[in-house]
Amino acid sequence: MNGRLFLLAGIFAATALGADQAALDRGQKEEARSCIPCHSLRLIHSQRLSKAAWNKELDKMAGWGTVVNDRDALLEYLTANFGDDKPLPTPAMSGNGTR
Ligand code: HEC
């Protein structure tokens, strides 16, 4: 009985992990599809925001006409990769007028 429960728990854990990575992949695809018409990904990837702040950011972009199909996955992807617990990115060079 206990062994069976343990096995079940293992299956659930594995499924949850799998779903998580799949969601992150879907989130990245969603970003590539819905976020680049107006600005570069650098503007997004240079942020470090909490999940709540990313959620607000998505609301703001939606207000400007962004259509997101897979919002949950996108929010998860943004929070996992560009969360406020991540180190700040090194600033891009922009001082010499060539870009
Ligand atoms: C309809 C055009 C449009 C689309 C599509 C769009 N954005 Fe934006 N985004 C903007 C504008 C306009 C700004 C403001 C740029 C500035 O301040 O110079 C901006 C700025 C940002 C910023 C910088 C912080 C801020 O609020 O100014 C982030 C982060 C961002 N967008 C994330 C996203 C994400 C994530 C997506 C995809 C879900 C997305 N954007 C899609 C128009 C858009």
What predicted TM-score, i.e. pTM, was given to this entire model? 0.82
Q: Hey, whose CA ends up nearest to atom 39 of ligand 1? A: 35
Distance 18 CA to ligand 1 centre (A): 30
Give pLDDT tens digits for 81-90: 999 999 988 8
**pLDDT number for residue 89:** 85
Q: Is the pLDDT of residue 1 over 60?
A: no
Quickly state the pLDDT bin for 45 (edges 50, 70, 90).
Answer: very high
Dist. CA 67–CA 50, nearest whole Å: 22
Q: Is the pLDDT of residue 73 over 70?
A: yes
Q: What is the mean pLDDT of residues 53-59?
A: 98
Which pair of tokens denotes residue 20? 């998580």
Q: Tell me if 53 CB under 6 Å of ligand 1.
A: no
Q: Tell me if 88 CB under 6 Å of ligand 1.
A: no
**pLDDT number for residue 18:** 54
Q: Hey, whose CA ends up nearest to atom 23 of ligand 1? A: 43
Q: Residue 88 in contact with residue 48, Cβ under 8 Å?
A: yes
